[in-house]
Chain A
Amino acid sequence: MTTDTKPVFESLEGMSEPCRLGLRNIIMACADTKLLLGYHYGEWTFGTPELEAAVASCSLSQSELGHVRLLQAVLKKHYGDDPERLIDNRPAAEFANVAFLDEQIERWPGFVAMNAIVDLAVARVLHAFRGSSFKPLRMSVEKMLDEERYHIHHGRGWFRALARQGEVTRGSLERQACAALTSVAEWFGPADDEQDAALVGASVKSMANAEIFRALLEDVSEMASGTGVNVAAAQRASLDGWNPATRRVGVGGPNEEILFHLRGSKNEVFKLG
């Protein structure tokens, strides 16, 4: 007979300090990345090459923004973070999104790289929270993953379709995919991150970020196999001075135009209350 000694955290009580910090940082990183994914998907609703992709893009945006609402509610309840402040009153340099999303996604291959790689990276992190000892997240992660399945199918389908559309398009997709992977690698951070180790040690997360990134690389390599897109050129830059709160080596964040739209600044006059 075996005894399950895995801890269960209904709240942050009983968690070590690195674990608490690490949990806040990874939830914030997922929420911020999803916020930017939601924005870019929304922007592309009117720019896709096919009508079906426009409908999909709108739906992807809706579900990402729903996930943001859910993750920010966890941050609010357990860390006291005000969701309104997180979007409306936070300097760009405090955002913890994958840097690939900092600027406008100008071309369709960029959209596809975002969908097929960046979105998948966040889904992979959420997957590591299945069976988490932190119950408030565990209770919502299955539903998010359920919805993420469609994101993955869409990204993968377009990645392989685009790769077949000639050398120029394939080259563009390859550059965007490599840029996305490089950016995601920075977001995951160094293999020896103390906070990440604390999360895995407390069974809050089932896999370390380095393992998740390796699994992601396998997913992407498999997706790219036989397409002529070479993702091996993605760089892993030095992570000296990496900041676990922003998940970057240097200073960054979404550009002002994106923040302007995210905050609904133009619509301020219509806000109720």
Chain B
Amino acid sequence: MLSAATLPTDAEVWQALHAVTDPEYPLSIVDLGMVYGVRVDGTVASVEITFTSIGCPAIDMIVSDIREAILAVPGVREVRLEIVWSPPWTKHRITDRGRRILAVYGVVA
């Protein structure tokens, strides 16, 4: 049994999500502003996520990557993922760090 000290935290899940990228961009889904919320309750991690477009062909792939990354966080046994479309994603959700990375690739966001 996990003690309170070894239970996963929101911060650890956010950290894990930094490793998940959208295959169309050289950025993590966190820097793209696609993650709307993270909550860890015991060993269950709940994540609210959106996508840059409704018809994004990589949705299944990204969802699979998210699950894999979060399940690798010590103590997480279950991932509950909800896809939401409100508020709609826009480029304004990209973080400052994300903009700097995109600028390196010549993309002005």
Contacts and interface: CB of A to CB of B under 8 A. Distances in A.
Interface stretch (A63-71, A157-165, A232-240, A243-251): A63-71
A66 B51 CA distance: 11
Contacts of B84: 139
Which range contains the number of B residues in contact with the other chain? 10 to 19
A140 B85 contact: yes
A67 B85 contact: no
21 contacts: A62-B53, A62-B55, A62-B57, A63-B53, A63-B54, A63-B55, A64-B55, A65-B55, A66-B53, A66-B56, A67-B55, A69-B54, A138-B86, A139-B85, A142-B88, A143-B85, A143-B88, A144-B54, A146-B88, A147-B54, A147-B55
Contact of A147 (B53, B57, B86, B87): B53
A-B pairs with lowest CB-CB distance, top 7: A66-B55, A66-B54, A143-B88, A143-B85, A62-B55, A140-B85, A139-B86
Interface in A161-192: none
Interface of A: 62-67, 69-70, 138-140, 142-144, 146-147
Given A63-B53, A69-B54, 7 more contacts: A65-B55, A67-B54, A67-B55, A140-B85, A142-B85, A143-B86, A147-B55
A70 to B, nearest CB: 6
Interface string B59-98: 0000000000000000000000000111111100000000
A142 B53 contact: no
A140 B55 contact: no
